[in-house]
């Protein structure tokens, strides 16, 4: 019966479908986190936007689980499902640029099969020097990234990625294509556009296109790089860093991200050293940037690799370093206020990294604040406007060692519970979505959850776009130590369960 229906579906598509057993299917179900291996009943590859509507209607008519796959970086695999329909957007990849002669900037409009690499490359090729406020990893895709908020290396200067979203096109569960954005005047469009700026991917419909502002950097090239310290210096280094980035005159044009974990020893590349790395990205002149990082250099790092590059060059050079790249992974985040990267946090880091069960695991943090605070916490669905640091742990272990899952998950979970406690955590980041996050609605969305739920119930009254942690799901894993790993191995649960 369903086979007949699939044949009928194919007749109505300009694109194609893949089914289990077909050669390319196995490749199509792979995502960044190799631990996640779901087998949908069929994968639809739309060739034109109309295919998106046709495919959604098919899933709804046959009451099949449904997910949308962009760049495939959902840490929990919510872009996939078991036994249902996956809409894989990758062949919808047209990009156009509209310059604005009055401002010298403009907008770029991309279909939602693109990844950030495509948008950076496209803008590089315009020769304008304008940049999108996009992701640090070039293989991450705009839809998942922006629907969850989106932190860019230059967000302290230009705001979050969603603050640069001008409009989007979305196919909602009723099958309508809506063009919503800053131009919208109808209340329901204003509400939906609000929800799409931080409410998280996969909740309200299928976004087919985004129009985003592209910005002129202060200087063509920026100071970028990494300054590495031995991990045991973490208390001294974070003691300085935490105060430095809180100084009143610390410029919005400077962001200083962090890394904790193993890196190759500079001399003996066959061994690892445990390091605390700081990554400055200064949106301005190299020499000015060098002056700003003097305090860090005086702390006697192991080495300082500092480059003068355009932002896209930096993304291509450095952006793949945090990929899980098909290994097994568990990811968790926390959100810290100003002053949160304190010396108690440093002690937690030293202890956890020293005792990590896998040498491949690492943690990073994003440096927030600056222009991101120009929007109120309820100005868009992205609530953590006053956050300063967004740490993320990536526990990574070998794919062929499923028996190592529990110890690695427990380690990462406990590490980040302690991290959050020491740093006075105020939440967690939906783009590092974690099926073991207790009270996830509060942690991801804070006071914005009530409005998100109300919009969800209006836009998707039958809850077609549901998954384990979709808006409206009552799933809530317990607080405290990890007792049940099963949420890590599922996407869908019965609505209302």
Ligand X SMILES: Cc1cc2nc3c(=O)[nH]c(=O)nc-3n(C[C@H](O)[C@H](O)[C@H](O)COP(=O)(O)OP(=O)(O)OC[C@H]3O[C@@H](n4cnc5c(N)ncnc54)[C@H](O)[C@@H]3O)c2cc1C
- In the structure encoding, which two tokens stand for residue 436, read together? 């073991």
Give min distance, CB of 423 to ligand X, in A: 19
CA distance 377 to 445: 10
Complex with ligand X: residue 206 or 345, whichever CB lies closer: 206
Instruction: Say whether residue 365 binds ligand X (CB under 6 A).
Output: no
Q: Which stretch binds ligand X (CB under 6 A): 198-206, 219-227, 294-302, 445-453?
A: 198-206
When asked if residue 173 is in the footprint of ligand X (CB under 6 A), the reply is no
* 3 state SS of 214: strand
Minimum gap (Å) between residue 231 Cβ and ligand X = 22
Region near ligand X per CB under 6 A, out of 71-79, 261-269, 301-309, 441-449: 71-79
Q: Which residue of 45, 58, 120, 151 would you call a contact of ligand X, by CB under 6 A?
A: 151
Q: Is 68 in the site for ligand X (CB under 6 A)?
A: yes
CA distance linking residue 209 with residue 282, whole number of Å: 30
Should residue 301 be labelled a site residue for ligand X when binding is judged by CB under 6 A? no
DSSP conformational letter for 331: E
If one asks whether residue 71 binds ligand X (CB under 6 A), the answer comes out as: yes
Reading the block at residue 377, the tokens are 């916490």
Residue (144 or 301) nearer to ligand X, CB: 144
Q: How far is CA 318 from the centre of its chain?
A: 16
Cα–Cα dist 379/190, whole Å? 11
By CB under 6 A, tell whether 215 contacts ligand X: no
Of the candidates 182, 174, 245, the one whose C-alpha atom is nearest the C-alpha of residue 206 is 174
Contact call for residues 484 and 490 (beta carbons, < 8 A): no
Interhelix angle 405-422/343-354, nearest 10 degrees: 170
Which residue in the shown chain puts its C-beta closest to ligand X? 201
Nearer to ligand X, 68 or 345 (CB): 68
Binding of ligand X at residue 201 (CB under 6 A)? yes
SS3 label, residue 30? coil
116-145 residues near ligand X, rule: CB under 6 A: 135-137, 140-141, 143-145
Chain centroid to CA 53: how far? 26
Least Cβ distance, residue 431 to ligand X (angstroms): 4
Contact call for residue 70 and ligand X (CB under 6 A): yes
Region from 66-74, 118-126, 282-290, 296-304 binding ligand X, contact rule CB under 6 A: 66-74
Closer to ligand X by Cβ: residue 233 or 445: 445
Report residue 89 as tokens. 């957007």
Residues in contact with ligand X, counted by CB under 6 A, come to a total of 32
Residue with tokens 């890196």: 263
78 sits near ligand X (criterion: CB under 6 A): yes
Q: What is the CA radius of gyration of the chain?
A: 22
For ligand X, the closer CB: 352 or 372: 372
Return the number of the residue (181 or 230) whose C-beta is nearest ligand X.
Answer: 181
User: Can residue 72 be called a binding residue for ligand X (CB under 6 A)?
Assistant: yes
State yes or no: residue 213 binds ligand X (CB under 6 A).
Answer: no
**Which residues are within 8 A (CB) of 155 and not within 5 positions of it... i.e. 6 or more apart?**
133, 161, 255, 368, 370, 371, 372
List the one residue from 180, 207, 381, 425 that touches ligand X (CB under 6 A).
Answer: 207
User: H or E stretch including 235?
Assistant: helix 234-244
Beta carbon of residue 116, minimum distance to ligand X (angstroms, whole number): 9
CB of 41 to ligand X, least distance (A): 16
Contact between 274 and 261 under an 8 Å Cβ cutoff? The reply is yes
Q: Does 202 bind ligand X (CB under 6 A)?
A: yes
Q: Which is nearer to ligand X, 144 or 284 (CB)?
A: 144
Name the residue nearer to ligand X (CB basis): 146 or 350: 146
For residue 326, the minimal CB distance to ligand X (Å) is 12
Q: Report the 10 Å Cβ neighbour count for 235.
A: 17
Q: Which of 233, 343, 348, 347 is nearest to 298 (CA)?
A: 233
Judged by DSSP in three states, 202 sits in: coil
Strands 389-397 and 328-333: antiparallel
Name the residue nearer to ligand X (CB basis): 159 or 202: 202
Joined together, the tokens standing for residue 250 give 């610390």
Extract the tokens encoding 30: 């792979």
Contact positions vs ligand X (CB under 6 A): 32, 67-74, 78-79, 89, 112, 135-137, 140-141, 143-145, 147-148, 150-151, 201-202, 206-207, 322-323, 431
């Amino acid at each position: 019966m369903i086979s007949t229906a699939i044949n009928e579906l194919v007749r109505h598509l300009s694109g194609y479908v893949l089914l289990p057993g077909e050669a390319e299917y196995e490749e199509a179900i792979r995502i960044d986190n190799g631990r996640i291996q779901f087998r949908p009943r069929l994968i639809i590859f739309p060739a034109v936007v109309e295919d998106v509507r046709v495919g959604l209607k098919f899933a709804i008519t046959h009451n099949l689980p449904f997910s949308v796959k962009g760049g495939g970086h959902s840490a929990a695999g919510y872009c996939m499902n078991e036994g249902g329909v996956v809409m894989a957007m990758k062949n919808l990849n047209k990009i156009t640029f509209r310059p604005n002669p009055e401002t010298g900037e403009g907008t770029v409009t991309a279909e939602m099969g693109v990844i950030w690499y495509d948008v950076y490359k496209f803008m590089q090729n315009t020769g304008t020097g304008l940049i999108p406020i996009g992701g640090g990893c070039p293989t991450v895709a705009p839809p998942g990234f922006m629907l969850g908020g989106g932190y860019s290396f230059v967000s302290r200067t230009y705001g979050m990625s969603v603050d640069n979203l001008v409009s989007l096109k979305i196919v909602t569960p009723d099958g309508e294509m809506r063009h919503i954005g800053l131009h919208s005047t109808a209340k329901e469009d204003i509400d939906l556009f609000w929800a799409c700026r931080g409410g998280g991917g996969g909740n309200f419909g299928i976004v087919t296109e985004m129009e985003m502002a592209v910005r002129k950097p202060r200087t063509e090239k920026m100071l970028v790089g990494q300054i590495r310290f031995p991990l045991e210096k973490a208390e001294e280094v974070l003691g300085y860093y935490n105060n430095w980035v809180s100084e009143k005159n610390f410029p919005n044009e400077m962001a200083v991200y962090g890394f904790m974990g193993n890196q190759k020893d500079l001399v003996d590349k066959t061994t690892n050293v445990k390091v605390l790395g700081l990554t400055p990205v200064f949106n301005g002149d190299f020499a000015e940037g060098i002056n700003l990082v003097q305090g860090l250099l005086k702390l006697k790092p192991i080495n300082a690799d500092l480059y003068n590059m355009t932002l896209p060059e930096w993304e291509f050079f450095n952006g793949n370093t945090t990929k899980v790249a098909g290994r097994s992974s568990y990811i968790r985040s926390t959100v810290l206020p100003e002053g949160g990267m304190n010396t108690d946090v440093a002690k937690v880091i030293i202890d956890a990294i020293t005792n990590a069960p896998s040498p491949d695991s690492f943690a990073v943090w994003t440096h927030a604040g600056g222009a991101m605070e120009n929007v109120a916490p309820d100005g868009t669905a992205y609530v953590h406007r006053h956050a300063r640091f967004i740490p993320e742990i990536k526990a990574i272990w070998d794919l062929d060692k499923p028996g190592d899952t529990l110890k690695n998950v427990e380690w990462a979970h406990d590490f980040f519970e302690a991290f959050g406690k020491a740093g006075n955590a105020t939440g967690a980041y939906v783009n590092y979505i974690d099926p073991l996050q207790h009270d996830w609605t509060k942690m991801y969305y804070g006071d914005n959850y009530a409005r998100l739920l109300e919009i969800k119930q209006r836009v998707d009254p039958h809850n077609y776009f549901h998954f384990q942690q979709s808006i409206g799901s009552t799933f809530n894993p317990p607080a405290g130590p990890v007792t049940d790993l099963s949420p890590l191995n599922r996407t869908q649960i019965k609505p209302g369960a």
